[in-house]
Amino acid sequence: MNRENKLLTYLKGACPGRAYRAGSMELEQTLGVSGTDLRKIVNRLRRKGIPIASDRSGYFYAQTAGEVYATIRQLQKMASGLEAAIRGLEQSLDSFGEAGDAP
């Protein structure tokens, strides 16, 4: 069984809904993956339309539209933060010279 199917099977069986969420460390140990790999697997499943939801305490298989919406809002906040960081870095480029020297 590949890692995506293993995670999906685990979340569907052990983590149906927010009340039964599993923390990242638990999932990393269960799947034998790093935190980075876990986030990549979750991202791939979500891109396929699988309702893997999350909050600050862990991941779970969404049981309601509200759980999916809450996860969407959380991801939108993260995206806004990344966009702000990109804008800040772009502004910092003004302090570099033509040759790309440090300020």
CA 9, 41, 29, 55 dihedral sign is negative
The pTM is what? 0.85
| Residues 47-103: tens digit of each pLDDT | 999 999 999 999 999 999 999 999 999 999 999 999 999 999 999 998 887 655 665
Map out the domains of the chain with their CATH numbers.
3-94 (1.10.10.10)
Residue 54's φ and ψ, nearest 5 degrees, are -160, 160
End-to-end CA distance of the chain: 52
